[in-house]
Structure 1
Amino acid sequence: MDNLTKSEQQELETRLQKRQVKEFMTLFGGLVDNCFTACVDDFTSKALSGRENGCISRCVIKSMATQTRLSERFAELNQSMTAEMQNKRF
């Protein structure tokens, strides 16, 4: 990034931010779809039942914990690969 002009750096940052928002929206949409499909099955009322409410809460918590662990594991693997590549250079 050091060899980019200031305007190129700003454009790159803007694109990265847009991509992050898009990825978040995709993740959020998938979460909503999965939890809705898994938990909501009674369409006779506008309100969620107590069972559906609890199911959605557990589903969201579990999904968020899974995403967090996946992110942590990815960072761990990335760090070990980076260290391995640096060791091969020297």
Structure 2
Amino acid sequence: MDSLTPTEQRELQNRMEKKQMKEFMNVRSHGWMLGPPIPSLQLLIDHHQMYSNLVQRCFDDCVNGFESKSLTSREESCVMRCVDKHMKGSQRLGDRFQEQNAAMAQSGGLPGR
């Protein structure tokens, strides 16, 4: 995917999201899902929501005008920093949760009890 231009990467990502949502909606509308979503489908939904929130946040923080149809170099670098910062923060949070879960499992219960 590194050989694609940023515009091509965004277009590919948009198409993949549309396909995933179309498949999800087909499953729901044909009644194939009886009851709550299966874990892998729920995980997909959660990831899509997280991605959408990230896109919205970085767009709101970095894109200041619509003078041209493409991002300025300043806007593009802002978006890259925003995404990088969010991803590193999410990774760090996940690492801390894993450490806490391991500590809890080792102690046999909840801390402080």
Instruction: Quote the residue 2:43 is aligned against.
Output: 20
Superposition CA RMSD, Å: 1.3
1:53 alignment counterpart: 76
Percent same amino acid at aligned positions? 34
Q: TM-score scaled to structure 1, two decimals?
A: 0.76
Gaps of 5+ in 1: 1-13
How many residues align? The count is 73
Matching residue's letter, 1:17: S
Letter aligned with residue 81 of structure 1 = M
The aligned runs of 1:45-84 (5 Å cut-off) are 45-84=68-107
In the alignment, the residues of structure 2 paired with residue 42 and residue 51 of structure 1 have an alpha-carbon distance, to the nearest angstrom, of 12
Larger RCO: 1 or 2 (CA < 8 Å, sep 6+): 1
4+ residue runs of structure 1 moved beyond 3 angstroms?
none
Please give the alpha-carbon distance, in whole angstroms, between the structure 1 residues aligned to 2:76 and 2:97.
32
Deviations 1:49-80 (A, max 9, x none): 01000000000111000011111111110111
Counterpart-to-counterpart distance in 1, 2:56 and 2:104: 34
d(CA) in 2 for partners of 1:28 and 1:36?
A: 12
Amino acid in the other structure paired with 1:65 = K
Cα offsets for 1:29-53 (capped at 9, x unmatched): 1110110000001111101001000
